[in-house]
């Protein structure tokens, strides 16, 4: 059983409340090994009004949250029965399990938010091997030299023309080897 990303439909305007309730239920029911991250997809936009710049947070998909989870019967039940949740996207209903997002779909959404499928704080460390899955070095494997959590970048040492060469890649461009 692997952890995958699913789209959950909520009452519009209640996304943050549902995220909070789902995280509380996950904690209280001991499901941290099945339900990992709950995200309300948002972007920051600069708005100029009356000559004053304001940063505004805008929901990318109003009425939806993203949940990274292992699709077990218990985890499915907990998410489905969280107050404010109306269902999973990609499920035919009648007790059918939903279809997860494709890796390229979730990568695009998380990259717009400055995030990655890989949780750098808990899953990556210097000297770890990673596969580069996007960008000019796609298909290459390297070793992490440094991690910059503020910029969401990694310095990865790759073998280029027989020499160990450092390259900078964004978190969403790598997967753990």
Per residue in 36-66, pLDDT tens? 999 999 988 888 888 888 888 889 999 999 9
CB atoms within 10 A of CB 49: 8
Per residue in 130-141, pLDDT tens? 988 888 888 899
Among residues 174, 103, 117, the alpha carbon closest in space to that of 142 is found at: 174
| pLDDT bucket at 67, cuts 50 / 70 / 90 | very high
Beta strands 64-69 and 153-160: pairing type?
unpaired
Q: Give dist(CA 78, CA 70) in Å, integer.
A: 12
pTM, two decimal places:
0.73
| Complete domains list, the chain, with CATH | 4-115 (3.30.70.940), 122-176 (2.30.30.30)
Among residues 84, 91, 92, 102, the alpha carbon closest in space to that of 5 is found at: 102
CB of 1 within 8 A of CB of 81? Answer: no
């Amino acid at each position: 059983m692997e952890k995958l990303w699913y789209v959950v439909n909520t009452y519009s305007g209640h996304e943050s409340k549902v995220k909070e309730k789902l995280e509380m239920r996950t904690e209280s029911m001991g499901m941290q090994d099945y339900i990992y991250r709950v995200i309300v997809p948002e972007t920051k936009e600069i708005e100029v009004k009356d000559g004053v710049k304001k940063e505004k947070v805008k929901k990318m998909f109003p009425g939806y949250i993203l949940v990274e989870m292992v699709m077990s019967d218990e985890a499915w039940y907990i998410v489905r029965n969280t107050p404010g949740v109306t269902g999973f996207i990609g499920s035919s209903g009648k007790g059918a399990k939903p279809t997860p997002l494709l890796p390229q779909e979730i990568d695009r959404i998380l990259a717009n938010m400055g995030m990655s499928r890989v949780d750098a704080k808990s899953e990556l460390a210097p000297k770890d091997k990673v596969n580069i899955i996007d960008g000019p070095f796609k298909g290459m494997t390297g070793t992490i030299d440094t991690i910059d959590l503020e910029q969401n970048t990694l310095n990865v040492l790759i073998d280029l023309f027989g020499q160990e060469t450092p390259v900078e890649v964004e978190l969403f461009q790598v997967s753990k080897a």
